Amino acid sequence: MAGEVRELKVDLGERSYPIYIGTGLLDGIGERFLERRFPVKSPIMLVTDESVADLYADRLEASFAAAGYKVTTAVVPSGEATKSLEMLDELIGVALQGGLDRKSTVVALGGGVIGDLAGFVAATYMRGVRFVQVPTTILAHDSSVGGKVAVNHSLAKNIIGAFYQPEFVLYDLDTLASLPIREVRAGLSEVIKHGLIWNADFVKWCDDNADRLLGLDPEALGYALYEGCKVKATVVSQDERENDLRAILNLGHTIGHALEAVAGYGELVHGEAIAIGMVGSARLAARFGYSPDIAETTEAIFRKFGLPVRIPHEINTDEVMSAMLHDKKFQEGQMVFVVPTAIGTVEIRNDVPVSWVREIVDGLREGK
Amino acid sequence: MAGEVRELKVDLGERSYPIYIGTGLLDGIGERFLERRFPVKSPIMLVTDESVADLYADRLEASFAAAGYKVTTAVVPSGEATKSLEMLDELIGVALQGGLDRKSTVVALGGGVIGDLAGFVAATYMRGVRFVQVPTTILAHDSSVGGKVAVNHSLAKNIIGAFYQPEFVLYDLDTLASLPIREVRAGLSEVIKHGLIWNADFVKWCDDNADRLLGLDPEALGYALYEGCKVKATVVSQDERENDLRAILNLGHTIGHALEAVAGYGELVHGEAIAIGMVGSARLAARFGYSPDIAETTEAIFRKFGLPVRIPHEINTDEVMSAMLHDKKFQEGQMVFVVPTAIGTVEIRNDVPVSWVREIVDGLREGK
Ligand SMILES: NC(=O)c1ccc[n+]([C@@H]2O[C@H](COP(=O)([O-])OP(=O)(O)OC[C@H]3O[C@@H](n4cnc5c(N)ncnc54)[C@H](O)[C@@H]3O)[C@@H](O)[C@H]2O)c1
Ligand SMILES: NC(=O)c1ccc[n+]([C@@H]2O[C@H](COP(=O)([O-])OP(=O)(O)OC[C@H]3O[C@@H](n4cnc5c(N)ncnc54)[C@H](O)[C@@H]3O)[C@@H](O)[C@H]2O)c1
Ligand SMILES: [Zn+2]
Ligand SMILES: [Zn+2]
């Protein structure tokens, strides 16, 4: 049964769209398609992954069928490797065979991997068809705002893509019940990030409500995802194409990406890596003369959520530094970093000495 | 030495861009990049094909180098098969290795194949970088307006793509001197099409100036390409995303595409196939009660340009009809066609009896 539904508008002029957050939403998707006059004659393609398909695909299929839509479902392997041009090729084939036309819709049912991949299919099939997202992870609250869609190249992640906004996002909290606890924590890491860059009260609220969030209490989770999406939507509305402001969303990501690149398979997931990265950025803040409380508060909240705040000892500082160098954020001994100035606000600095970063990375290693 | 340069503005709001048409333009490209403040620090990728590379790539490279830009050149095989996701993958790799960043430019030096492929690279690399077109075929006057970029899928042509406008188009008529005569004629077929749908005077002018055009007289050619681009630009400005008006650009293409699909390799190139298709559409016009002169004039002008106006006898009517059926333009015994109502104007009809089309296709076969 459907409980309270929160609605957030992502404000992008002509490309604006709503995000619906609540429980019991999956079964109503066909109705929403009809309400929005998505043509019944144009087939839908549902893209999902192997873990999610068995759990929720039939409910969407049934809802579409009841509303009179023909659906073709494409189930792809779970995991990051699925975000590839080979998979794009395959899905375009499925779309053609399913008879999708220019008025058709591609629906992404899954986490960020499925959202990014299916979104790129929608952006490029016949030069662009409708796109709808049905996120099933907490991390996907992040990818459901901002319209970044992409696949990976063997030499770089997310390098082939587009800015492509969905028609709407249907966030059914019920689907999160099956999420492994590690994915829950990792997703909440990015939710907390949105607080850290923009909204101190929300950080406090997360801290106070850690147990409810980790326990997937629908009321708390609905509020947190709403607030997380709202921060991102506010930033993105002001800078859709990442010219300046949008960069603040990368808090913790410079160190985080380097850790992901260096860590062995499965050792660190994205949300974990950026939690460590955010602690690093907060320590940088202290170097720039901002309050050392920032680092303390940041570290404490991630600990409370069961997220790592130290670099695993297998990873050495040189590797991390050279992964960052590869990441092109260096420039003549100085680096660009998003640095907190207080809990809830950040600045972008392009004058961060590489030596400071090295010291901070080194100081973050386990056992130091 | 540079002669007169015609400049046409393609009017698309924020995405407007100029097309420069003239002689001696290649060597000035670096200067134009500087004038437009394309950042000198951001490397350029030049995409071209094996036939064109040897002829003109070094002149662009030299001009870029003189202006202080670093260029990476990617040479791909000539021909339609190059428009593939595999090639996209390869070119993204070249871009990464060449250090292209978000302020970089992808330059297409070649015909429509290179324009479509390099344009799709530009549209997707890092979610979109600058794109500049340097067309070297007559047919490419068509692809240089309208922003359609794409690659092919094994099941369908041009099915994976985007709408992505260039920063500017540099059309150096000198490059056309090396074009095989068959490509010259085929390109002019599409130029004449632009007259047939929009501008009767221009059709007359083409007819009067056939020899100068086929002889690549720069003054005549510059004028014809300017007028051809202008018609397309007018249509596209009113309907960038092909919702309605833009469909008139498909005059001759329903039959033309079917002929291309059915013809053996090399038997018919695109411009030839659509010339036959345009004769077919003109005959349809007569069935709808429009003047039979339309068909006569249409056939006469294509003959004058040495273009085919009959379907080669190896191709049989059933094959052509079933290729059209596959092309999804059928609907319950009726087809959608662009039909001339006079020389210089067309209408879109969705009530064309399949039986008429069959009779016309059959009547167009050689020897009938
Ligand atoms: N586009 C953007 O703005 C943006 C932002 C952040 C992240 N991303 C991308 O998102 C991806 C990471 O997102 P993610 O963490 O959601 O990854 P994911 O889609 O791989 O999901 C994580 C795992 O959870 C499983 N899963 C998903 N939903 C489930 C459910 N309800 N129950 C049980 N299992 C479930 C998946 O099968 C997968 O194994 C990365 O590729 C990243 O680049 C994109
Ligand atoms: N994007 C659009 O709006 C649009 C419009 C029309 C056509 N197209 C596409 O354009 C392609 C056809 O264009 P095209 O006919 O220019 O094809 P092309 O790029 O394959 O060029 C034709 C041949 O001429 C050679 N060539 C090119 N320039 C030359 C020169 N100056 N001297 C000697 N040889 C030269 C090429 O190597 C090739 O072999 C198709 O893929 C079609 O789908 C796109
Ligand atoms: Zn992230
Ligand atoms: Zn054409």
* pLDDT for residue B195 is more than 80: yes
A124 contacts B93? CB cut-off 8 A:
no
Start-to-end CA span in chain B (Å): 50
Contact A159 B328 (CB under 8 A): no
Whether A154 and A266 map to the same domain: the answer is: no
Q: What distance in Å separates the CA atoms of residue A68 and residue A39, rounded to the nearest whole number?
A: 10
Ligand 2 and B172: CB distance under 6 A:
no
Helix, coil or strand: residue A248: helix
CATH number at residue A220: 1.20.1090.10
Question: Which of A127, A150, A155 has its CB closest to that of B127?
Answer: A150
Residues B142 and B81 both lie in one domain: yes
In the predicted model, is pLDDT for residue B1 greater than 60?
no
- Residue B194: CB within 6 Å of ligand 2? no
Give the gyration radius of chain A's Cα atoms.
Answer: 20
Contact between A91 and A84 under an 8 Å Cβ cutoff? The reply is no
Average pLDDT over residues B194-210: 98
Do residue A191 and residue A152 come from a single domain?
no
Same domain? For B98 and B211 the reply is: no
Give helix then strand counts, H and E, for chain B: 15, 12
Helix or strand run (H / E) with residue A8: strand A6-10
In DSSP notation, B60-75 reads HHHHHHHHT--EEEEE
**3-state SS, one letter per residue, for B266-323:** CCCCHHHHHHHHHHHHHHHHHHCCCCCHHHHHHHHHHHHCCCCCCECCCCCHHHHHHH
Chain A contact set for B156 (CB, 8 A): 96
How many domains, in total, are found in chain B? 2
CA A90 to chain centre: 24
Please state the ipTM of this predicted complex.
0.94
Q: How many CB pairs under 8 A join A and B?
A: 69
Q: Which of A178, A195, A215 is the last residue of a domain?
A: A178
Q: What is the pLDDT of residue A264?
A: 76
B230 among known catalytic residues:
no
Q: What is the CATH number of the domain that holds B131?
A: 3.40.50.1970
Distance A139 CA to ligand 3 centre (A): 8
Residue percentage of chain B with pLDDT more than 90: 91
Q: Are residues A249 and A214 in the same domain?
A: yes
Burial (Cβ within 10 Å: 0-12, 13-18, ≥19) of residue A164:
buried
Q: Which ligand is nearest to the CA of B142?
A: 2
Write out the residue range of the structural domain in which residue A110 sits: 5-178
The whole-number pLDDT of residue A4 equals 86
**Same-domain pairing of B123 and B272:** no
Same domain, B151 and B240: no
Indicate the residue among A146, A178, A210 that finishes a domain: A178
What angle (nearest 5°) sits at the alpha carbon of residue B359, between those of residues B357 and B363?
115
Predicted pLDDT of residue B295 = 98
Do B220 and B298 sit in the same domain of this protein?
yes
Which one-letter amino acid corresponds to residue B307? L
Q: Are strands B168-172 and B156-163 parallel, antiparallel or unpaired?
A: unpaired
SS3 A185: helix
Residue A157 alpha carbon, nearest atom of ligand 1: 43
* Same domain as B123, residue B49: yes
Mutate to test the interface with A, among B124, B149, B157 (most CBs of A within 10 A): B124
> Do B82 and B208 belong together in one domain?
no
- For A19, A323, B143, B219, B320, the CA distances from B96, given in Å and listed in that order, are 35, 16, 26, 41, 44
Q: Is the CB of B174 under 6 A from ligand 2?
A: no
Select the residue of A93, A124, A162 nearest B127 (Cβ to Cβ).
A162
The answer to whether the Cβ–Cβ distance between A92 and B150 falls below 8 Å is no
Mean pLDDT of chain B: 95
The three-class DSSP label of residue B179 is coil
**Are A234 and A257 in the same domain?**
yes
What lies within 8 Å, CB to CB, of A19 at 6+ separation is A7, A8, A9, A10, A144, A145, A168, A169, A171, A229, A233
Encode pLDDT of B240-296 as tens digits.
Answer: 888 889 999 999 999 999 999 899 777 899 999 999 999 999 999 999 999 999 999
Query: Which residues of A are documented as binding site for NAD(+)?
Result: 78-83, 112-116, 136-137, 148, 157
The low-confidence residues of chain A, meaning pLDDT below 70, are 1-2, 327-332
Last residue of a domain, one of B178, B208, B241: B178
Identify which of A124, A155, A156 has the shortest CB distance to residue B162. Answer: A124
pLDDT band, residue B328 (cuts 50/70/90): low
Is this model's pTM higher than 0.90 or not? yes
Backbone angles phi, psi at A286, to 5 degrees: -60, -40
pLDDT of residue B338: 97
Same domain, B239 and B302: yes
**Closest chain B residue to A151 measured between Cα atoms?**
B124
In the three-class reduction of DSSP (H, G, I as helix; E, B as strand; rest coil), residue B32 is classed as helix
Which has the closest alpha carbon to A20: A172, A142, A137? Answer: A172
Query: What pLDDT was estimated at residue B174?
Result: 97
